[in-house]
Amino acid sequence: QEQLVESGGGLVQPGGSLRLSCAASGSIASFNGMGWYRQVPGKERERVVSFTTGGATNYADSVKGRFTISRENAKNTVYLQMNSLKPEDTAIYYCNAYGGGGYYWGKGTLVTVSS
């Protein structure tokens, strides 16, 4: 059973930056795809960005040009660099991965954008 652990959330002012990390218990190279999602209480979880192995990376329109996903296979970690943060980016951010018949979620990390 793969485990995903997010970190890096916190309180940031509008216009600021944060970098989220998602550490996997196993090799991220074994996954068919990974991504970041976010959810505001009372609303549906939405995709922020995702990629498939050997495929394209897809960003939600609301974060294009501001957020960047990257990965460090040697550390089995995926990152989400978030710049020019807005109050509407406030949410719990979840890491997702799938492959080998499994579909995995982390427990999330809270990002609050407020002055």
Low-confidence ranges of the chain (pLDDT < 70): none
What is the pLDDT, as a whole number, of residue 55? 81
For residue 92, what pLDDT is reported? 98
Tokens 């090799």 label which residue? 27
112: alpha, beta or left? (left if phi > 0; alpha if psi -120 to 50): beta
pLDDT at 64: 98
Any residues with CB less than 8 A from the CB of 59 and at least 6 apart, and which?
48, 49, 67, 69
Q: Which pLDDT belongs to residue 5?
A: 98
